[in-house]
């Protein structure tokens, strides 16, 4: 992911948590907040240390980023935070992507094409 697509600052995370809307399934929680200044979406990923060691957490983060790369042109300009829950650690990449697509459809972040 390019730098322009990332949310890194704690203050940005906190603002989205407070003012954004949340949607969840068993594996992920998604916070979304509209931002009229954006031309594309911005993504923040949070995977707790409770889910496992660094190898497990990075595997989950890579799968999440890959899903957003695949759907890069299909997502509306919005700020998104993805929080992984406990069941995500036992899933493979394809299962993570299908679960993430499911919760993103509920959050209505896709263009009308999907």
Domain 3-107 has CATH 3.40.50.12780: no
Contact call for residues 48 and 89 (beta carbons, < 8 A): no
CA torsion 88-35-6-28 (nearest 10°) is 0
Nearest to 7, CA basis, from 81, 107, 85: 81
pLDDT at 24 over 90: yes
Instruction: Give the angle 52-18-88 at the CA atoms, nearest 5°.
Output: 25
pLDDT on residue 113: 62
pLDDT on residue 18: 95
Mean of per-residue pLDDT scores for the chain: 91
Residue 42 token pair: 């911005």
- pTM, two decimals, is 0.91
Nearest to 29, CA basis, from 81, 79, 71: 81
């Amino acid at each position: 992911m390019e730098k322009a697509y990332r949310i890194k600052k704690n203050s940005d995370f906190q603002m989205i948590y407070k003012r954004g809307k949340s949607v969840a399934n068993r594996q992920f929680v998604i916070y979304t907040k509209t931002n009229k200044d954006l031309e594309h979406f911005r993504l923040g990923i949070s995977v707790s240390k409770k889910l496992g060691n660094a190898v497990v957490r990075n595997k989950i983060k890579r799968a999440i980023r890959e899903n957003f790369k695949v759907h890069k042109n299909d997502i509306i300009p919005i700020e998104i935070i993805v929080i992984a829950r406990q069941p995500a650690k036992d899933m493979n990449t394809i299962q993570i992507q299908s679960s993430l697509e499911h919760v993103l459809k509920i959050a209505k972040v896709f263009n009308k094409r999907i």
